[in-house]
C-alpha cells in the first residue's frame, strides 16, 4: 500500500500516541514478526508491552516505534500493510496480525492482508540506526550528490536504482515513474549515463513529488487508509502512473506502458528520450 508519503502521513498520525503506555500486546500471527526468539515474556517486552511510546521515526518506507529504554518496533508495510488506531473492543477486521492495547482505551493494530510487510524488533536505537545506515539516503531529502553517488559504478537502469532501497530509501513504483517523467529521463536509461543536468533535475523531481504527496496527506494511492481508517481526500493526479495509452500532459503523444525491473512502467517516449 504505502509509498513514502503514506508512511510519513501514518507517522504523523501516530505522533499523538507519544507518551501513551502500551498495556499489552496480542500477537495474532507470529510469522509477521522477524526474529522472534525466546520466551513469550520477551516477545511482549520486545513489542513494548508495559512501556510508553516515546518516539516515532521514519527512514524511506520504514516506520519505527520507539519505546522507553530504547527498544524499537520497526514496521514495514509492504504492499498492503496498515497501522490503525481503533477503540479497544471495536470489531477486529481480518488480517489484524499484531495489536497493541493502549492505556487510554485505544489500540494500535498492524493489519496486512498480503503479508508482504512485517515487523522487526530492535533492542536499541543504535541497532535501528545501524539497520538504517545500510539503506540509502532518505528520498524526501535526496541531494544531487547523493543521487549521483547511487548511480555511479552500476550498469542498471535508472529506474532499478531508484527502486533499490539500499541505493535510495523511499522511492516506490509510482514516484519513480513520476519523478523520471518530470525530469525527462527514460526509465530504461543506464543510471551512470545521466548527465549533470539530469542528476540535478531528477533529484529535484524526487523531492518535489514526494513532498507533494506528503502535503496531500499521502492520499495518492487508491486503497490507502490513514491511521483513522479513512482514505485520503485530496487525490493527487499522477502525470504518468496509471495513464498508459493516454495523452502526455506535456506533448499530447500517447504514453507508453512497459515493464522495467518487473514493475509496470509508464513514460512518454517524446518527453523522455
Partner DNA sequence: CGTGGCCCCTGTGGGC
Partner DNA sequence: TGCCCACAGGGGCCAC
Residues near DNA (CB under 7 A) are 1-3, 60-62, 76, 78-80, 94-95, 113-116, 154-157, 160, 163, 165, 172-174, 221-224, 261-264
Smallest gap from residue 105 Cβ to DNA (A): 28
Taking the least distance from each CB to DNA, the nearer of 68 and 156 is: 156
Least spacing, CB of residue 160 vs DNA, in Å: 5
Q: How far is the CB of 213 from DNA (least distance, A)?
A: 11
Query: Is 22 or 268 the residue whose CB approaches DNA more closely?
Result: 268
Q: Residue 209 half-sphere exposure, CB side, CA atoms within 13 Å? A: 28
Supply the minimum distance, in Å, between the C-beta of residue 176 and DNA: 8
Task: Specify the residue, 39 or 262, whose C-beta has the smaller distance to DNA.
Answer: 262
Q: Which is nearer to DNA, 69 or 264 (CB)?
A: 264
Among all residues, which ones are annotated catalytic? 2-3, 61, 263
Amino acid at each position: 500500500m504505502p509509498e513514502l508519503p503514506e508512511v510519513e502521513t501514518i507517522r504523523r498520525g501516530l505522533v499523538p500516541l507519544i507518551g501513551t503506555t502500551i498495556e499489552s500486546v496480542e500477537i495474532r500471527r507470529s510469522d509477521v514478526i522477524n526474529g522472534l526468539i525466546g520466551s513469550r515474556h520477551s516477545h511482549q517486552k520486545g513489542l513494548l508491552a508495559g512501556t510508553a511510546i516515546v518516539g516515532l521515526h521514519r527512514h524511506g518506507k520504514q516506520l519505527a516505534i520507539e519505546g522507553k529504554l530504547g527498544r524499537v518496533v520497526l514496521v514495514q508495510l509492504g504492499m498492503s500493510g496498515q497501522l490503525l488506531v481503533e477503540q479497544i473492543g471495536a470489531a477486529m477486521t481480518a488480517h489484524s496480525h499484531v495489536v497493541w492495547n493502549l492505556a487510554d482505551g485505544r489500540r494500535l493494530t498492524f493489519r496486512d492482508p498480503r503479508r508482504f510487510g512485517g515487523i522487526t524488533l530492535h533492542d536499541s536505537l543504535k541497532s535501528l540506526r545501524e539497520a538504517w545506515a545500510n539503506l540509502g539516503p532518505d528520498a524526501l531529502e535526496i541531494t544531487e550528490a547523493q543521487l549521483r553517488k547511487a548511480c555511479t559504478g552500476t550498469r542498471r537502469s535508472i529506474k532499478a536504482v531508484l527502486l533499490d532501497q539500499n541505493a535510495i530509501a523511499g522511492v516506490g513504483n509510482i514516484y519513480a515513474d513520476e519523478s523520471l517523467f518530470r525530469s525527462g529521463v527514460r526509465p530504461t536509461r543506464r543510471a551512470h549515463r545521466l548527465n549533470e543536468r539530469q542528476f540535478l533535475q531528477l533529484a529535484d523531481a524526487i523531492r518535489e513529488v514526494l513532498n507533494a504527496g506528503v502535503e496531500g496527506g499521502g492520499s495518492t494511492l487508491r486503497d490507502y487508509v490513514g491511521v483513522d481508517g479513512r482514505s485520503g481526500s485530496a487525490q493527487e493526479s499522477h502525470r504518468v502512473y496509471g495513464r498508459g495509452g493516454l495523452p502526455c500532459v506535456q506533448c499530447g503523444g500517447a504514453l507508453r506502458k512497459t515493464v522495467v525491473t518487473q514493475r509496470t512502467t509508464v513514460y512518454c517516449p517524446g518527453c523522455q528520450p
